[in-house]
Every structure is written in structure tokens, then in C-alpha cells.
Structure 1
Amino acid sequence: MTEISITVNGELQTHDVEDRTLLVHFLRDHAGLTGTHVGCDTTQCGACTVHLDGRAVKSCTILAAAVDGAQVTTIEGLAQGGELSDLQQAFKQHHGLQCGFCTPGMVMAGTDLIRRYDGELDEHTVREQLEGNICRCTGYTNIVKAVLDAAGKHRAKRT
């Protein structure tokens, strides 16, 4: 067992974990944050996407001990003061989900996408950049609409 400390959604989480513990399991089993989903365990589906030191990563193949001291944001950490993030609101408004299993990973990947492109996105770029996140229900149309809507709000806040 190894004691590691990771700041998750602004709160320091210190736990003893086995050296083989994956970040996704640290978040779910030790930090009690079950919004990050376990899908494929091979980085194929993106359901486990979180932000690690400000960048979207798939947490199912990262050892928790390897990110000791890091900062992680999960889907639970996006809402501020009880207010959903712009992308969370857009997913709700555009019905960018059905079963909801992929939604946390899609929102985390989309949030990072909007940050990386500073809101300057088009449909082709969103579809291309979200290729690593699989949704088996929606056909992506409403997910893309939600990301583009939130990107527009991001651009409007810049000016």
C-alpha cells in the first residue's frame, strides 16, 4: 500500500492505495465520486474522462500513484455554486444524452475541447475531436449541438 494525495475538485484526498490502483478507481472507490464511469478499461470509450492538471485524460489507464500531488477535476467539480457549467446546461437544453453513461466523459472532453480551441469550433472539429468518446445511444447530433452552443457562450464571455 502507498499513501497518495490528489486534490480532487479542490479538496485534498489522501488515501492508502495498492500500487496498481487506477485513477478511475481512486476517484470512485476512495474519493467516493462515482460520476466518472468505468467503461472499457482500455481508453477506447472515454467514459472515464477527467481533467488532470487542467487537461482531459482517460483515467482508466493512469495509475493513481503516478499522479500523486496532481489536481483532478471530475464531472462533480464542474458545477460552481450550484450552477451547472455552460456545457452541462447545453447538454440539458439540447438533450445531449439518453442513457447518460457516456455523458460525464463527453462533458469533460467537451469542456477541454472548448478550452483548447478558445470556443472557436465548428461541427467538423467537434466531431473529429470527440472521436475518442463513444456514445451508443444518441448518434452524437445533440452532443455536437451542445458543445457548439457552449462554445458560443465561451466566445461571448471573451468579448
Structure 2
Amino acid sequence: MPTFATGSYPTVLLDSKMFVGGLNWDTTDEGLRKYFSEFGKVDACTIMRDPDGRSRGFAFLTFDDPESVNAVMIREHYLDGKAIDPKRAIPREEHLRNTRYFVGGLAPTTNAESMREFFSAFGKVVDATVMIDRESGRSKGFGFVTFEDSNNADQFVGKLGLMLDDKQVTDRS
């Protein structure tokens, strides 16, 4: 049964900072930096890694000029043979307004687009993510939805009978 948990996920973010998801496990910090340098000077670039050094499949990067982020956002991106998903990092203040919600118990067929479509009935969705197992490529059965406005939670958190891809959504908070 899908569940929600409210909470903020604070990270220090800047207007010129980006989250890059969907990385090839073999992508290096230097390769990522080189790719994004075509959009502007990259100040920092860090692929997140497990304690054993294996890539977690996502990174954060910061440009010298916030306009570089706009240049990145207007096209699709492929690196090391894989489509990657760069997104504007969400400022810390927005996280603190409880705009991001954990969604658990997702159907195996649920994807980011179906989550976005479902939750758009409750307000403007700025991000929807289904977490994928790196070994199997299958959904882990949970994800996150982020709204533009923190007032959206009142419309669905705690409500019974909400269905997403034939699974009932409930509040776990």
C-alpha cells in the first residue's frame, strides 16, 4: 500500500547548482565536468558515491554563472552512452516548506510521468522521481514528489482512497 511521509530534505543549494541523475555507473567526476563545461565554467562537480567508492548514479554540480543552468535545461543530455537527467537544484528554503513527499508502496508499473500526472491534480508538481534499483533496473517501490507550493499537502496527506496505478495511497507521517 503506497504511503506518504512528510519532511524536509535540506541541502545547501544555490541558483547555480544542479542535481544530475541517471548517470552511467562508470562516469567520472572529470568526465561529468568536461561534459557540462560546454555550458559554462563549472566551479564544483561531485558524483555521489557509496562508502566502497561505487557511484550512486547521481551528482551535484555548480556553475560559476547561474545562466549556465538555463542553458542546460533547454535540451536533452547523453553522457557515456546513457540519457542523464540534470535538474535545477531546489533551494533550501523550498525544502523547508515541506514541498517534497516520500511515496512508498508504488506499483512496479509506476514511473515518474504517471506520478507527475497523478499528483498534478493536487497542485503544480516540480519533480516526481521513482527510485530504481541499479542492479535490476526495476522500481524499488518508492519515490518522491515535490510541489511548487507547500499548501498542497492538505489535499492528500491523510486522505484515504487515493489510487495511483491501482494501488491505494495513504499517509505514513
Q: Does TM, normalized by the shorter one, top 0.5?
A: no
Query: TM-score with structure 2 length normalisation?
Result: 0.30
The structure in which a higher percent of residues are helix is 1
Query: TM-score with structure 1 length normalisation?
Result: 0.31
When Rg is computed on C-alpha atoms for both structures, the one with the higher figure is 2
Higher relative contact order (CA 8 A, sep 6+): 2
